[in-house]
Amino acid sequence: MALDTIKHRLVPKHSKVSEAEKEKLFSNYNITSRELPKIFINDPAIAKQSNFKIGDVIKIERESKTAGTTFYYRIVVGA
């Protein structure tokens, strides 16, 4: 009966960003990992998938009422 939070329709898709893409993201916004929003490694949205590790950048695809699909990036940090 356990609810799979990841499959819930209100939980947007979380995926890992490749190293190359990560580099591009950092240079695009002229930032380091310090400036990125954080996400805990034990956050329910990513905790159960084992392929995430600290320092990874997560891409979140959200449906927006005004802008269609939008992307958001968060960096995984230790709890």
Indicate which single residue of 5, 29, 48, 61 sits in contact with other proteins (rule: CB under 8 A).
29
Q: Which is nearer to other proteins, 15 or 48 (CB)?
A: 15
Cα–Cα distance for residue pair 8/3, rounded to 1 Å: 8
> Residue 44 CB, nearest distance to other proteins (Å)?
22
Q: Which is nearer to other proteins, 48 or 55 (CB)?
A: 55
- 72 interacts with other proteins by CB under 8 A: yes
- 5 interacts with other proteins by CB under 8 A: no
